[in-house]
Structure 1
Amino acid sequence: MNKTALAILISSVVGLTACSSSQNNGDFSAQLRVLETSDIHANVMDYDYYQSKNDITIGLARTATVLHNARAEVANTILVDNGDLIQGSPMGDYVASEFNKGNEFTTHPAHKAMNLLDYEVGNIGNHEFNYGLDFLEKAIAGAEFPYINANVYCLADCWQGKKEGENLFTPYLIKKTNIIDSNGKQRTINIGYIGFVPPQILQWDKQNLEGKVSVKGIIESAQKFIPEMKANGADIIIAIPHSGIGSSENPGDVNAENATYSLTTVAGIDAIMFGHSHSVFPSKQFAGVPNVDIENGLINGVPAVMPGRWGDNLGVIDLALQYSDNKWTVSSAKSESRPIFKRNEARKKVALVEADKDIHNAVKVEHAATLDFVNAPIGKATSDMFSYLTLVQDDPTVQIVSNAQLQYAKDQVASSQGESLKALPVLSAAAPFKAGGRHSAASDVDSYVQVASGDLTYKNAADLYLYPNTVVALKVTGAELKDWLECSANQFNQIDANSTAPQHLINWKDHRTYNFDVIDGVSYKIDVTQANKFDGSCALKNADSERIVGLTYTDQSGKAISGKALMAQEFIVVTNNYRAFGGKFAGTGAEYVVMEQPDTNRDVLAAYISAETAANGAVDPSADNNWDFLDINSSVALDIRFETQDSMTADSFIKTYAQRSMTKLPEQDDLGFAVYQIDLKAKK
């Protein structure tokens, strides 16, 4: 039966019979364990395709073992997935690549694995839309469990006969579930599930979704459907937002990307299984958030869990249920995230579980095909491309992406764009995608680009460019360009030039590394002694602050443009669809777009590597050092620190390529990162 129709049927039947069960007589109690996976990102195998080796820190195959153990401990369990499932690893890219060639799959390998684990329901994440709606429809059709989402609506040409204004997916489910009470007797409970995705999918995947779907806010959708679920017989309601914890200061933002904190204020929700931001909750990272109990995993008294990313944790919520006066209530709750590995006293990674061999066997064909896919040769590189220093100096892993985008954009503008654009300087914006993750979990210490010199394969291009973005170009003024960089500079904390105390340079808390855009084609310096002009969302904080100094464009004749002349100059900036349509940074948004190409940035990068290798024997990724920090004028000894990977490879790379004096400190931080002091008073 069509899964959407089946889901609607289940909801309707439960709504009619919710109060008619004869199994729930008298007063009694029961325990229910709710389990969650989230942000698997097609990491089914415990394998690092970028480094061609097994990896004990990732993979649904290992999460499954934690899951089996958690189920064995209690009588009643249910399992949900939060989304961001089908994209994010070379296996996901391989399946999408074959689909685009017309080689359709029967069941996506992620679902081959999940179909072995007895999921109740799956939620739709934002990355589910990355390969287009046709691919998504095909993918979820292979799941032996239903999918839900309450805030995406059909506009036109929707699947399964959906009409304009209807929910694209089943908004919620209410499933009659048998459980065993504390006396060993079987009872029934009607469990409601509702899912959400960030409204920003219309910006992030504009080329796949424009004119096809509309999206409403997470909170307004919850406020619409939660009462309806109660009226239709839901005894308890489990919300599954693909959304981070969000703001405790502005919980009323209807368009918030991260809205879990706000969801805890919506009456009727009994537990929240969330994700999206790749963090682990509960954890000490969230200790300072108002009304958050990290010991019991509660937000405003509501149990909640977020299990990291790539399968490194399993989310667990234990609900103590009470049945009295003909209704179920949650009397107490506690949540935790259970990891698949830990670090021992020597900070070495130690596996806590072995992989589930049934999952290995389920995807062995796709695993072998993925290995062939990623090991296809594309060229050679003259030097190593490691991202250990990408947050503190210009870097080859970002430089090679910019070089590829610049060459591609110049060719496109010269061959197919109007005369007014051909006269404009072309710049490139690129950011580090793998630079310590989000510095929130022990597994983040491995999240660095590690592409050695010599022969390059497609897996190296995928390591350098993690996402299946497409190439988009914008027309911006120099003034907009400067504010774009001002927001990017929010990556750094403000440094007190008169303090001798340790000061951490990287703003891990409020700025994602993939939002640290470096713009090539201009030169500039960043004055970290100044306050940030914008916050991590590019909202204005300090109008008079100026971190970007010396911004200069030099044309082919050697003429330098800066100051007021540069502010008035128009540029073409080539970037990706995520940035271009996001509208967050100055100069971005649909109104600035002048070129939108179907080619992915990763394929453009691979083609550039091949072309450079054919022409020159190898590609040279050396950083041109077009940006740097402004030297700090201080009369005191400054102790400025940054975090990066702790490895012999990182040590050697930093010793060879550091543009400033950097000193490694003897102790790692709590997550296992190496900590370095960096001299910002003078260049080497």
Structure 2
Amino acid sequence: MSSEPDRLWSGGLVFARETPPDGSGLLRIIATSDLHAQLLSYDYFANRQLPGTGLAQIACLIAEARRTAPTSLLLDNGDFLQGGALAEIGTMRRGRRPHPAITAFNALSYDAVALGNHEFDYGLETLNRAIESAAFPVISSNVLIEKASTPLADRHFTTPATLLTREILLPDGTRRAVTVGIFALTPPETLQWNARWIRDRLEIRQMEETARAWVPELRAQGADIVICLAHTGIAQPVAGVSEDNQAVEIAGIPGLDAVIAGHSHLTFPDLRSYADPRVNGISGHISGKPVVQPGHEGSHLGVIDLWLSPVNGIPNRRWEVTRSRTHLIAGQEKVAGMPSRTIREASAPLRLALAQDHSAALFRMRQRLGAVAMPVSSWFASVADGQAMRLIGAALSAHARARLEGGPWSKLPMVALVSSFRSGGRGGPMNYVDIPQGNVSLRHVFSLYPFPNTLTALLTTGAELARRLDLSCTLFNQIMPGKPDQILTNPVIPAFSYAAAIGAAYQIDLSLPPALPGIARPFGSGRIRDLMIDGRPLGPEDPVILVVNNYITDDPRRPAGEVVLDEGHNCTGIIADYIRDQERIVSDDRPGWRFMPMPGTSVFFDSGTGAGERLDSAALLRPEPIGLMPSGFSRFRLHL
């Protein structure tokens, strides 16, 4: 099988009908992944149109890809059930109305959809209620009701695989049937991430083990072509292989013809050079197999073209793949060059099907809760102690303090471990929170805390708190004192991985290297310095209540602390109730965290374009605008 690079992967691609000289026919695989309920080109949390994103925006690309290929399949690689306001609407019981994501997939006639990890965020009842309305197979080959001795003997939670039969048009005008086998892999780590919903109810088999069983099984069942929907990423050139990046190993399995990757919200092909010789980031092939990873929230459309030639005289084999090509189409770039009428017509069935859900989401998100006396934003939340994370921390701590009142831990110092979920990074230059002074609505709360986590609290120690904070600082590169214009953050690390301890004061020493996972540095020897609560130094053995969420406490890989509060209260709801009770949120100016001063040292930090209007939120760092980067982010010089 030969492979061809498509150097127009980033936009400007026009699908063309081709008549290959070898007499083969075309099978086109069209793929989306990690949509996170971004179905319409609308940001409900910011209350604005969001051009260049969403399934509706790339519907015209899907239509064009189908129009120019006589035979095609439209697939989604999971993480569709959780995300924006439409996802929240979908969790509510509204008679027999389907979940908006399922409505969207039905409207666009998807052929099969995989389960990602976020499908389990709301529990099995919500998931089962959603997928029962699907007019297509919803598949996962490794999510199990009961694990057996072999993958093929397992009892599966949903359809483990599917066989789809289509007709291939050959250059001589004849048509011949082709059977496509599709199986899907869900991250096994979902068992930890969503333990409270699926503990003791489901098991998840390892991805590669499952794939090695299902590829030959689908062949034995009559599949001419085998495709894997693998909800896992591709190891980055500098990051190495990790448990969340198994697509490389899966693509190397004999008998597998193509892979759709996902989960990490990145894109492939990405025009990068990889140290792993199996990965070709130019052509979009791994171990010679075509692979696409189509970004997130409708940012890209992935397309794999397989040219198939009939095979005669070989038992149990009707087709062979003679050539393959990958397309990765950036929706914003390509759609910008299409006539507006074409865009509207392609998305019309989707917009019509979701009209009622859209109205319900707008009504819910616009509910007024209270007011803020100052702007609340996340433009600099990763580098400066700002009001956005302080508001989250204050709300969660107040709830935990009230629930623990009168108990044995009520007098202990308390801090809340808070992340800024919308801080750019892989989410792009518009992935930020900006709440102006004035009224606050429910949409603002969801922009601050978009995940359906529930509040939990741990009884832990000063040493453990410092260790957690030290590990969260791996986002920041080691900075050399006295050197100007160094890159502050590691682009491989998601921005939301940084967490601050709201209620504590401390400094971060960037002159030290980042902590290594699994290696705890002695208290006081890591990046966290001068750790204090209420003006008093916190010793390594001092007890402290750490307010977190179920994502942390449910995961056995994140131990070190006794769970003292876990009542299943939703964090977003707690924040909303806090704003209602306070009515007006004022600035919290208590001492907090900061970078340890490094005279004569400056760093570059990239944020969204709106950051220029909120420079005062990082005043200690004296930010200087540098300019707009090719990525769409704005670069700032920060003085340490």
CA displacement at 1:229 relative to structure 2: 1.7
2:144 match: secondary structure: strand
Any gaps of 5 or more consecutive residues in structure 1? 1-26, 157-163
2-side partners of 1:660 and 1:168: how far apart? 51
CA displacement at 1:323 relative to structure 2: 2.4
Assess if the C-alpha contact under 8 Å between 1:530 and 1:546 holds in 2.
no
1-side partners of 2:241 and 2:235: how far apart? 11
1:552 match: secondary structure: strand
Letter in 1 for 2:47: S
2-side partners of 1:350 and 1:599: how far apart? 46
CA displacement at 1:278 relative to structure 2: 1.1
Residues 44-193 of structure 1 aligned to structure 2 (within 5 Å): 44-96=39-91, 98-99=92-93, 103-154=94-145, 166-193=155-182
**1:257 to 2:257 alignment:** no
Counterpart of 1:619?
585
1:482 to 466, 489, 494: 466
User: CA 1:244–1:106 in structure 2 vs 1: closer, same or farther (change >3 Å)?
Assistant: same
User: CA 1:191–1:362 in structure 2 vs 1: closer, same or farther (change >3 Å)?
Assistant: same
1-side partners of 2:616 and 2:398: how far apart? 31
Assess if the C-alpha contact under 8 Å between 1:487 and 1:585 holds in 2.
no
CA displacement at 1:396 relative to structure 2: 1.5
Letter in 2 for 1:238: I
Residues 229-628 of structure 1 aligned to structure 2 (within 5 Å): 229-246=218-235, 256-284=243-271, 290-325=277-312, 326=314, 327=317, 328-342=319-333, 354-355=343-344, 356-414=347-405, 418-419=407-408, 421-438=409-426, 444-497=428-481, 499-500=483-484, 502-509=485-492, 511-534=493-516, 538-540=517-519, 546-555=525-534, 560-562=536-538, 566-585=539-558, 587=560, 592-613=562-583, 618-622=584-588, 624-628=590-594
1:540 match: secondary structure: coil
Assess if the C-alpha contact under 8 Å between 1:493 and 1:504 holds in 2.
yes
User: CA 1:134–1:270 in structure 2 vs 1: closer, same or farther (change >3 Å)?
Assistant: same
1:631 to 594, 597, 606: 597
1:191 match: secondary structure: strand
CA displacement at 1:207 relative to structure 2: 1.5
Assess if the C-alpha contact under 8 Å between 1:247 and 1:261 holds in 2.
no
How many pairs are equivalent? 606
CA displacement at 1:300 relative to structure 2: 2.4
Farther-moved stretch of structure 1 (316-325 vs 594-603): 316-325
1-side partners of 2:537 and 2:521: how far apart? 26
2-side partners of 1:656 and 1:378: how far apart? 24
1:68 match: secondary structure: helix
Letter in 2 for 1:192: G
Letter in 2 for 1:553: M
Assess if the C-alpha contact under 8 Å between 1:196 and 1:242 holds in 2.
yes
**1:674 to 2:634 alignment:** yes
Residues 354-390 of structure 1 show CA distances to partners (whole Å, capped at 9, x for unaligned) of: 2411211111111111111101111111111111111
Assess if the C-alpha contact under 8 Å between 1:376 and 1:458 holds in 2.
yes
CA displacement at 1:40 relative to structure 2: 1.3
CA displacement at 1:296 relative to structure 2: 1.4
Letter in 2 for 1:446: M
**1:198 to 2:205 alignment:** no
When the two chains are superposed, the root-mean-square deviation of aligned CA atoms in Å is 2.5
Assess if the C-alpha contact under 8 Å between 1:248 and 1:290 holds in 2.
no
2-side partners of 1:662 and 1:250: how far apart? 30
CA displacement at 1:113 relative to structure 2: 1.9
CA displacement at 1:583 relative to structure 2: 4.4
Letter in 2 for 1:308: G
2-side partners of 1:186 and 1:278: how far apart? 38
2-side partners of 1:642 and 1:248: how far apart? 22
Counterpart of 2:38?
43
1:652 to 610, 613, 620: 613
1-side partners of 2:472 and 2:126: how far apart? 33
2-side partners of 1:291 and 1:480: how far apart? 40
2:444 match: secondary structure: helix
CA displacement at 1:542 relative to structure 2: 7.8
Residues 429-470 of structure 1 show CA distances to partners (whole Å, capped at 9, x for unaligned) of: 01010011327xxxx010001211211111111111111111
CA displacement at 1:575 relative to structure 2: 1.1
2-side partners of 1:385 and 1:65: how far apart? 37
Assess if the C-alpha contact under 8 Å between 1:394 and 1:627 holds in 2.
yes
Residues 98-131 of structure 1 show CA distances to partners (whole Å, capped at 9, x for unaligned) of: 22xxx34332222222112222111001111111
1:438 match: secondary structure: helix
User: CA 1:70–1:243 in structure 2 vs 1: closer, same or farther (change >3 Å)?
Assistant: same
Under a length normalisation based on structure 1, what TM-score does the superposition of the two structures give? 0.84
Assess if the C-alpha contact under 8 Å between 1:533 and 1:545 holds in 2.
no
1:29 to 7, 24, 29: 24
Counterpart of 2:198?
209
2:262 match: secondary structure: coil
CA displacement at 1:612 relative to structure 2: 0.8
Assess if the C-alpha contact under 8 Å between 1:319 and 1:334 holds in 2.
yes
Letter in 1 for 2:567: Q
Assess if the C-alpha contact under 8 Å between 1:434 and 1:449 holds in 2.
yes
Counterpart of 2:19?
none
2-side partners of 1:257 and 1:621: how far apart? 39
User: CA 1:282–1:531 in structure 2 vs 1: closer, same or farther (change >3 Å)?
Assistant: same
CA displacement at 1:291 relative to structure 2: 3.1
User: CA 1:173–1:249 in structure 2 vs 1: closer, same or farther (change >3 Å)?
Assistant: farther
Any gaps of 5 or more consecutive residues in structure 2? 1-21, 148-152
2-side partners of 1:623 and 1:582: how far apart? 34
Assess if the C-alpha contact under 8 Å between 1:202 and 1:209 holds in 2.
yes
CA displacement at 1:532 relative to structure 2: 1.0
Letter in 2 for 1:513: A
2-side partners of 1:433 and 1:240: how far apart? 27
Letter in 2 for 1:119: Y
CA displacement at 1:658 relative to structure 2: 2.0
2-side partners of 1:207 and 1:47: how far apart? 31
User: CA 1:570–1:361 in structure 2 vs 1: closer, same or farther (change >3 Å)?
Assistant: same
**Percent identity over paired residues:** 28
1-side partners of 2:117 and 2:366: how far apart? 28
Assess if the C-alpha contact under 8 Å between 2:523 and 2:540 holds in 1.
no
Under a length normalisation based on structure 2, what TM-score does the superposition of the two structures give? 0.89
